[in-house]
């Protein structure tokens, strides 16, 4: 420049430092309030449209997954479009007057480097737009479809976001404290609102999501190591070796647990515990089923409170000292590569009775105090005696009801500590939770009696309490008496069960174990081979008709033969009166089914190797325990 030439004044700008040269700067046309309002409205539009779309793709998505998905859709929009806009227009940013340009100039009040073609800012925003923008949209789609690779990608993106934001803050702090450079205006609303608050989202949320991803991934690797160890030491009996086996011998995965076949051992009371503690008898009794091919063995009804036992000999988990006995059984089952479950229960008004072999044949008898019973402390939803051979129950107070709910919750925690794989809540056969559902046995006038909603309240609160303390990957089952087989009286019946079943997936229940009866001595059961199986099919059909396919159905009762067990999971279309017209209730193999699982009880006591006989009769080759390989059925044997 010539010595006498006069320099042209640079345009005035509001950025720090005030002597910063920003050529071609044009002031924003919109004020701060307008720009912030437009940005907030844009975020709201992204959230609402994403929510509506997700509800169509995955209507039963969990709240945590929904919030995570919304976050990554927002990140995708901001990274790809907003930050991508900056990377593309960084040279022209001071004079840009479109919406994104004015938004960037507004944000630059807290960091003037965005108006000076700063190399670090350009590189950071370019990498963010190119890498994390598209990746965020891909991850959102994975969450919506519950893709198995969701957590690794979530960890990568969250770590990238966290690294970028920490580096962003670090360079600002270095320049301020070491070089004496200040990029933000001093007003609190700008420094704390723009620079600190808005950027903090990309530190706090990625930290939470990264921790969650690491936790889930760690759990997956732990499960893999456990599985590898199990494969080396166990027999995995009951696994089909034949190609394309029937559904009965095909695997089923519920949450994080995979069952090698669809045959489960139903819970059976043995009345042989010692003050709730399992004994050597239980280890031998349950172990005999666990290594003979059943994919799940469910431990008998286990009382959550001492007064909730059917008899003094019932199993219990009302105190920590009882955990060890259950752990022994669980460890043995796991050592054989099998799964173990537990049925948590409260006997209600049917408590304090003698074991069957101690009372009159075919009848119940009260266990008096001399027998170790508690006839004066039997509790029921209402003060209604079940019948002859049972104690007079005391109507439960609201405190009693809450205590039982807490008991289920605490027992579930202990079951997890014992290594149990699956928890079932006992809501059948006239015991406490069943009696709360039925107008026959629940005559209360408070919030736990009267209307259908009130009568189901205790069960629903119990389910919520249990689900809240068990791992997300642990299956939760509910056994229910779908009908009470009572005539000419208002009672709990199949339509009530269907109505309840529709609520269960949202409560975290994964399988409905369909039984019946047990709530009144006046019941009249229409007994036939499939008398309970048909009810299970009716419920499954009604659920499928309304598009509810994430609640598995278990059938139980008089299942003794191979072809019958097979047919329950692969049958022909049937018209059910409470489900409406004929519904094709297809399983994942495209076959018509009444249920997803068969639960067998007494037949296993008669024939512990029942799984192997069923497989042989159906022509399915299955894995036997390695110790028993020489004992397999001879080809051509009649069994």
Residue 480, in any domain of the structure: yes
Instruction: Indicate whether 266 and 198 sit together in one domain.
Output: no
The pLDDT tens digits of the residues spanning 351-406 come to 999 999 987 765 778 999 999 999 999 999 999 999 888 999 999 999 999 999 99
The pLDDT tens digits of the residues spanning 23-58 come to 889 999 999 999 999 999 999 999 999 999 999 988
The answer to whether residue 302 scores a pLDDT higher than 60 is yes
Q: What angle do CA 25, 27, 32 make, to 5 degrees?
A: 135
Domain finish residue from 224, 245, 277:
224
pLDDT at 573: 52
Mean pLDDT of the chain: 91
Residue 57, in any domain of the structure: yes
- Work out the pLDDT band at 7, boundaries 50, 70, 90: very low
Instruction: Indicate whether 446 and 541 sit together in one domain.
Output: yes
Residue 18, in any domain of the structure: no
Instruction: Indicate whether 365 and 422 sit together in one domain.
Output: yes
Domain finish residue from 168, 194, 224:
224
The pLDDT tens digits of the residues spanning 130-160 come to 999 999 999 999 999 989 899 999 999 999 9
User: What whole-number distance in Å separates Cα of residue 47 and Cα of residue 63?
Assistant: 14
Number of H helices and E strands in the chain, helices first, is: 21, 13
pLDDT at 380: 97
Range among 57-71, 438-452, 574-588 rated most confident: 438-452
Residue 395, in any domain of the structure: yes
Residue 637, in any domain of the structure: no
The pLDDT tens digits of the residues spanning 212-233 come to 999 998 888 887 776 666 555 4
The answer to whether residue 187 scores a pLDDT higher than 80 is yes
DSSP 592: B
Instruction: Indicate whether 256 and 172 sit together in one domain.
Output: no
Rounded to two decimals, the pTM is 0.65
Residue 638, in any domain of the structure: no
State yes or no: is 151 an active-site residue: no
- Work out the pLDDT band at 574, boundaries 50, 70, 90: low
Beta-strand runs (E) in 379-522? 379-380, 394-395, 422-427, 476-481, 511-515
The pLDDT tens digits of the residues spanning 72-124 come to 999 999 999 999 999 999 999 999 999 999 999 999 999 999 999 899 999 99
For the residues 479-483, what does the mean pLDDT come to?
97
Report the DSSP beta bridge partners of residue 513: 479, 554
User: What whole-number distance in Å separates Cα of residue 22 and Cα of residue 11?
Assistant: 8
Q: Which of 85, 114, 168, 431 is catalytic?
A: 431
Report the DSSP beta bridge partners of residue 481: 515
Instruction: Indicate whether 417 and 283 sit together in one domain.
Output: yes
Distance, CA of 432 to chain centre: 25
Domain finish residue from 224, 257, 280:
224
Residue 8, in any domain of the structure: no
The position carrying tokens 């097979």 is 566
pLDDT at 499: 98
What does the H/E/C string look like for 139-196? HHHHHHCCCCCHHHHHHHHHHHHHHHHHHHHHHHHHHHHCCCCCCCCCCHHHHHHHHH
Quick check: 419 and 471 in contact, CB under 8 A?
no
For residue 491, give the CATH number of its domain.
Answer: 3.20.20.70
Instruction: Indicate whether 260 and 200 sit together in one domain.
Output: no
The answer to whether residue 617 scores a pLDDT higher than 80 is yes
Residue 6, in any domain of the structure: no
Range of the domain at 95: 32-224
Instruction: Indicate whether 208 and 266 sit together in one domain.
Output: no
User: What whole-number distance in Å separates Cα of residue 308 and Cα of residue 621?
Assistant: 43
User: What whole-number distance in Å separates Cα of residue 342 and Cα of residue 425?
Assistant: 9
Tell me the C-alpha to C-alpha distance, in Å, between residue 244 and each of 346, 595, 614. 42, 19, 16
If one counts the domains in the chain, the total is 2
Q: What is the DSSP string of 236-287?
A: -TT-B-SSS--GGGS-EEETTEEESSSEEEPP------BTBB--HHHHHHHH
């Amino acid at each position: 420049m010539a010595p006498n030439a006069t320099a042209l004044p640079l345009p005035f700008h509001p950025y720090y430092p005030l002597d910063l040269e920003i050529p071609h700067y044009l002031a924003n046309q919109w004020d701060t309030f307008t720009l912030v309002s437009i940005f907030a409205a844009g975020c709201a539009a992204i959230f609402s449209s994403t929510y509506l779309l997700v509800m169509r793709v995955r209507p039963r998505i969990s709240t945590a997954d929904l919030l995570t998905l919304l976050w990554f859709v927002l990140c995708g929009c901001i990274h790809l479009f907003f930050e991508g806009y900056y990377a593309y227009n960084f040279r022209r940013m001071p004079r840009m007057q479109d919406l994104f340009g004015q938004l960037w100039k507004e944000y630059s009040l807290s960091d003037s480097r965005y108006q000076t073609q700063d190399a670090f800012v350009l590189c950071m925003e370019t990498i963010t737009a190119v890498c994390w923008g598209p990746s965020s949209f891909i991850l959102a789609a994975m969450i919506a479809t519950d893709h198995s690779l969701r957590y690794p990608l979530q960890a990568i993106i969250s770590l990238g976001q966290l690294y970028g934001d920490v580096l962003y803050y670090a360079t600002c702090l270095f320049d301020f404290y070491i070089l004496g450079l200040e990029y933000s205006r001093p007003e609190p609303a700008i420094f704390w609102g723009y620079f600190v608050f808005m950027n903090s989202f990309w530190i706090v949320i990625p930290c939470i999501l990264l921790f969650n991803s690491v936790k889930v991934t760690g759990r997956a690797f732990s499960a893999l190591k456990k599985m590898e160890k199990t494969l080396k030491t166990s027999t995995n009996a009951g696994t089909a070796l034949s190609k394309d086996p029937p559904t009965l011998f095909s695997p089923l995965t519920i949450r994080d647990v995979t069952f090698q076949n669809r045959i489960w051992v139903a819970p059976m009371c043995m009345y042989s515990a010692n003050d709730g503690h399992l004994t050597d008898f239980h280890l031998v009794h349950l172990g005999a089923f666990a290594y003979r091919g059943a994919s799940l063995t469910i431990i008998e009804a286990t009382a959550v409170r001492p007064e909730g036992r059917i008899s003094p000999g019932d199993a219990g988990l009302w105190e920590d000292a009882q955990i060890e006995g259950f752990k022994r059984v669980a460890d043995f089952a796991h050592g054989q590569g099998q799964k173990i479950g537990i049925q948590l229960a409260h006997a209600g008004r049917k408590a304090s009775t003698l074991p069957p072999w101690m009372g009159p044949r075919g009848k119940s008898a009260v266990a008096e105090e001399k027998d170790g019973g508690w006839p004066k402390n039997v509790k029921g939803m209402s003060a209604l005696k079940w019948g002859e051979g049972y104690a007079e129950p005391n109507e439960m107070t609201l405190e009693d009801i809450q205590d039982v709910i807490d008991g289920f919750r605490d027992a579930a925690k202990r079951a997890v500590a014992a290594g149990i794989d699956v928890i079932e809540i006992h809501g059948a056969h006239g015991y406490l939770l069943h009696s709360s559902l039925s107008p026959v046995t629940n005559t209360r006038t408070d919030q736990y009696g009267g209307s259908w909603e009130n009568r189901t309240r205790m069960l629903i609160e119990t389910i919520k309490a249990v689900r809240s303390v068990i791992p997300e990957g642990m299956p939760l089952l509910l056994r229910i008496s779908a009908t009470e087989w009572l005539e000419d009286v208002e009672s709990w019946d199949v339509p009530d069960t269907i109505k309840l079943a529709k609520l269960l997936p949202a409560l975290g229940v994964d399988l409905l174990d369909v039984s019946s009866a047990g709530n009144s001595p006046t019941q009249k059961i229409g007994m036939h081979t499939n008398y309970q199986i048909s009810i299970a099919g009716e419920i499954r059909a009604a659920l499928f008709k309304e598009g509810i396919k994430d609640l598995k159905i278990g059938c139980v009762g008089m299942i003794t033969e191979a072809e019958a067990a097979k047919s329950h999971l692969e049958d022909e279309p049937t018209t059910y009166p409470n489900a409406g017209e004929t519904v094709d209730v297809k399983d994942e193999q495209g076959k018509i089914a009444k249920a997803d699982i068969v639960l067998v009880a007494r037949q296993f006591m008669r024939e512990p190797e029942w799984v192997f006989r069923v497989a042989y009769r159906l022509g399915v080759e299955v894995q036997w325990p390695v110790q028993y390989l020489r004992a397999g059925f001879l080809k051509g044997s009649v069994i």
